[in-house]
A = this chain, B = another copy of it.
Amino acid sequence: MTPVMTRAEMQDYLWEVFPQVRGHFSVEHIDGAVTVMRMPVTDQNLRPGGTVSGPTMFALADVAAYAATLAHIGREALAVTTNCSIDFMRKPSADADLIATAEVLKLGKSLSVVDIRICSEGQKAPVARATLTYSIPPKRD
């Protein structure tokens, strides 16, 4: 599948529709196979034990699945998550960025299913995996 938005277009669009996340996430790469997002880890994301919090990794998975879906359908701000399963498997590094790689497994008219793996930058073993379903609103004429 050839993406319909470039990396730079997606970056601008995410910051336009989610002004709160400006600077929290950046779009690293988009191609026909995957969308890659980067998230710097800050003190705000840490929890007891000096590890990155679960909600922080969920937020990264969620925005990565959103970007991966929009990369193929274009600007559709109102796509919403309907389901997510997520496994937290290893303690992320407190001093490396998190990198999420999202692959669209299904893209139908009304929903997308996206697989995500999250790694601490420079590590191969994933710290988390997630699958999200996004509901895509019907096209207006």
Which residues of A does B touch, CB under 8 Å?
A: 17-18, 20, 44, 47-49, 51, 53-55, 58-59, 62, 77-78, 80-90, 105-106, 110, 113, 115, 125-126, 129, 131, 133
- In the complex, the answer to whether B113 meets A89 with C-beta atoms within 8 Å is yes
Q: 7 nearest interchain CB pairs?
A: A85-B85, A55-B59, A48-B77, A89-B106, A54-B81, A58-B58, A17-B48
Residues in B whose Cβ lies below 8 Å from that of A125 = 106
Residues in B whose Cβ lies below 8 Å from that of A131 = 85, 87, 129, 131
Residues in B whose Cβ lies below 8 Å from that of A90 = 106
Residues in B whose Cβ lies below 8 Å from that of A87 = 82-83, 105-106, 113, 131, 133
